[in-house]
A and B are shown apart, each in its own frame.
Chain A
Amino acid sequence: EAQVTQNPRYLITVTGKKLTVTCSQNMNHEYMSWYRQDPGLGLRQIYYSMNVEVTDKGDVPEGYKVSRKEKRNFPLILESPSPNQTSLYFCASSSGIGYTFGSGTRLTVV
């Protein structure tokens, strides 16, 4: 089944403890992206990647890192999470038309 897989689905962590949210797609898509979704603010793009080793900032990149070493994987790294990064995160991939989204990761930073 064609899909974008994110892990974990739920995560509660403490301020300052580094974490990684993994994302993998099995559709051989070139383009991948990370979003956060907050009530009243909608979906905001964090980073996107147009190919292996090619990444660029979206609208809200501060506090996040990404890497694209393989075509199928696009992990999101929070080096020192803070409470304002509590959010619902989505990974997505695309062949060039619309994005296919993962099921989301609900992150709480206390």
Chain B
Amino acid sequence: EDQVTQSPEALRLQEGESSSLNCSYTVSGLRGLFWYRQDPGKGPEFLFTLYSAGEEKEKERLKATLTKKESFLHITAPKPEDSATYLCAVGYSGTYKYIFGTGTRLKVLA
């Protein structure tokens, strides 16, 4: 069965304490892996798309990487404003069908 699993479910960091979030997937025919950020009461906000193993993307304190079975979202020296739920999703080749993981709730303490 195709699925996307994110870990940990929740993470508390001190400001400046770097860490990584994990997204593992089992999908036949991957079109792309997507990372989103969601703030409470709002719709998800697109961060990155990764298409092939070995690819990396960066944006400010965030860096996403992709292997054949998982993706990591590395957060370097996080700030309180990075607190949010981070979602990953996989898209199927040839369609716009998506599966989302259940997310990692990140809390960065000042």
Binary contact track A35-50/B, C-beta < 8 Å → 1, others 0:
1000011111100111
Segment at the interface with B among A14-22, A62-70, A72-80, A96-104: A96-104
Binary contact track A76-91/B, C-beta < 8 Å → 1, others 0:
0000000000000010
Count of inter-chain pairs, beta carbons less than 8 A: 61
> In the complex the two chains form, what is the Cα distance from A41 to B87 in whole Å?
12
A101 and B98 contact, CB distance less than 8 A: no
> In the complex the two chains form, what is the Cα distance from A54 to B43 in whole Å?
24
Is there a chain A Cβ closer than 8 Å to B71's Cβ? no
Main secondary structure of the interface of B (DSSP, over half): strand
Q: A42-B87, A98-B34, A98-B36 are in contact. Are A59 and B44 (CB under 8 A)?
A: no
Residues in A with CB closer than 8 Å to B41 are 104
Nearest opposing residue in chain B for A42, CB measure: B102
Residues in B with CB closer than 8 Å to A100 are 46
State which size class the interface on B falls in: 20 to 34
Least CB distance, A23 to chain B, in whole angstroms? 12
Least CB distance, A102 to chain B, in whole angstroms? 6
Main secondary structure of the interface of A (DSSP, over half): strand
B43 and A101 contact, CB distance less than 8 A: yes
Taking Cβ atoms with an 8 Å cutoff, the residues of B that contact A are 34, 36, 41-49, 87, 89, 95-103
A and B contact pairs by CB, cutoff 8 A, 23 listed: A33-B98, A40-B102, A42-B100, A42-B102, A43-B89, A43-B100, A49-B96, A56-B95, A56-B96, A56-B97, A58-B98, A59-B97, A59-B99, A90-B44, A97-B46, A98-B34, A98-B36, A98-B46, A98-B48, A99-B44, A99-B98, A101-B44, A101-B45
Taking Cβ atoms with an 8 Å cutoff, the residues of A that contact B are 4, 31, 33, 35, 40-45, 48-50, 56, 58-59, 90, 92, 94, 97-104
